[in-house]
Amino acid sequence: MSFTLAIVGRPNVGKSTLFNRLVGRKLALVDDQPGVTRDLREGQARLGPLKFTVIDSAGLEEATDDSLQGRMRRLTERAVEQADVCLFVIDARQGVTATDEVFADILRKKNAHVIVAANKAEGRAGEGGYLEAFSLGLGEPIRLSAEHGEGMEDLLSALLPIVDEFEARAALAAEEAPATDVDLGWSGEETEEDAEAPEDWRPSEARPLQIAVVGRPNAGKSTLINAILGEERLLTGPEAGITRDAISVPTTWGGTPVRVFDTAGMRKRAKISDKLEKLSVSDGLRAVRFAEVVVILLDVEIPFEQQDLRIADLAEREGRAVVIAVNKWDLATEREARLQALKEQFERLLPQLRGAPLITVSARTGRGLDRLHDAIVKAHEVWNRRVPTAQLNRWLLGMTEAHPPPAPGGRRIRMRYMTQVKARPPAFVVMTTHPQDVPASYERYLVNGLRGAFDLEGTPIRLILRDAGAKNPYKGKKGLGGPSALRKHLG
């Protein structure tokens, strides 16, 4: 069975390094300075035969007020209460501190299953700290070295009895549950008809819609995601740059299974000198590449700053569907005039995203979230759209008859055939003579025509020109001609 393991402890004891070790990837940011992790990060871990969810948490500090450290502590304590098992990590080289003792008392009250791990225990330097860990009264500690992977077998041995207890409880509950004879309509075996069914791009529990929320610092990204989730899942506050890791959170939003990525605020490169901020921005850029729809969150008071335009251009170059959301709309005055000005700025400054939806929202009050949801779902549908080849070629004929391609040097350009070779984003190949002579302005004419004719507004479109005079590799091979073969060949 699956269970949840929360890794907790003071700052800089190696929690994120251990998290990365358990999930098998460098998901959490790691640095020598304390307090790198601020939000709760979840990952799917595997240790021997066990598969479970592991949570990396912020470092526990003795702060109970509304400061940033106090808010981080409350978030971590909530994870402790919700987790099945807590792994309390101490620094074996520093030994047990007074703060460790305070948190040991808290963990003893908040969670029934607590395992103490003395990290950085490799060599003689950690021997004393490991022995001191017995004084916490939480059972026999485990010697670990998260950086070198030592002690993982001991951690597995400590987890197995707890998992056996969970399984025994689950089996007892199943025996006491009432029987049912309802026909669920599925035998559990895949039929030939199921195996041949085409892959569905629509969001599902197995494949949720991936959404990345990006923008400059203090635009309200974490507050927006908390409003979508309906709970204070991510750390928020008036301080700029609170979020550091790109945190992904699964949920069902308006009936749509989604996974939302909260990213660190992205400033101009010239202003970034801190190594940790560089890592945070890099993590955010990686989230954009994993996403299907990118929500670019603007501040209504300072929209379309230079950095906003760079972020939007990055999303377009990565081929992601884009939705523009203007936050803090509840603070705006003269809203009709302001909205008209925003739309004019959008069309003028981001022509490459023409037709992308622009939605006004208030992350603080939750207004506009239903419209944002609908815009994201529509953008995702357009991003996955496929246009039949017959329709494309009828459209191409009409476009070239209305405005024939130029004839540079007296050589007439003939566009003979067109097909869509992929979606996500839509990509089209045009077989033409002299493709190198087709001007960029005519390519834009075709791309804009595709948007209008096939309702592809707001999604990046890739147009590839190929030489129609090149040798056909399928000529003379029976059964290998036609659009399907061309798509396979062009890739």
Read off the pLDDT of residues 374-388 as tens digits, 9 standing for 90 and up.
999 999 999 999 999
Please check if 215 is assigned to a binding site: yes
What is the predicted pLDDT for the residue at 219?
Answer: 85
Please check if 343 is assigned to a binding site: no
d(CA 167, CA 173): 10
At residue 179 the predicted structure's pLDDT band, cuts being 50, 70 and 90, is: very low
Q: Could you read off the pLDDT of 202-217 as tens digits, one per residue?
A: 899 989 999 999 888 8
Please check if 328 is assigned to a binding site: yes
Average pLDDT, the chain: 80
Q: Could you read off the pLDDT of 443-474 as tens digits, one per residue?
A: 999 999 999 999 998 889 999 999 986 555 54
Q: What is 143-192 written as a DSSP string? A: E-BTTTTBTHHHHHHHHHHHHHHHHHHHHHHHHHSPP-----S--SS--H
Please check if 67 is assigned to a binding site: no
At residue 199 the predicted structure's pLDDT band, cuts being 50, 70 and 90, is: low
Contact assessment for residue 357 and residue 323, using Cβ atoms and an 8 Å cutoff: yes
Across residues 93-100, what is the average pLDDT?
Answer: 89
**Residue 142 pLDDT greater than 70, yes or no:** yes
Please check if 440 is assigned to a binding site: no
Please check if 190 is assigned to a binding site: no
Count of residues for the chain?
491
Please check if 441 is assigned to a binding site: no
Please check if 26 is assigned to a binding site: no
Across residues 389-402, what is the average pLDDT?
Answer: 95
Report the candidate in 257, 299, 306, 261 with the shortest Cα–Cα distance to residue 280.
Answer: 261
What is the predicted pLDDT for the residue at 480?
Answer: 47
Please check if 266 is assigned to a binding site: yes
Which range has highest mean pLDDT (32-36, 178-182, 268-272, 292-296)? Answer: 292-296
Please check if 122 is assigned to a binding site: yes
Dihedrals phi, psi of 463, to nearest 5 degrees: -115, 120
Report the candidate in 362, 283, 359, 372 with the shortest Cα–Cα distance to residue 329.
Answer: 362
Please check if 167 is assigned to a binding site: no
User: How far is residue 218 from each of residues 29, 130, 275, 276, 451, measured CA to CA in Å?
Assistant: 20, 42, 20, 17, 34
Please check if 56 is assigned to a binding site: yes
At residue 176 the predicted structure's pLDDT band, cuts being 50, 70 and 90, is: low
DSSP for residue 208:
P
Whole-model pTM?
Answer: 0.66
Please check if 125 is assigned to a binding site: no
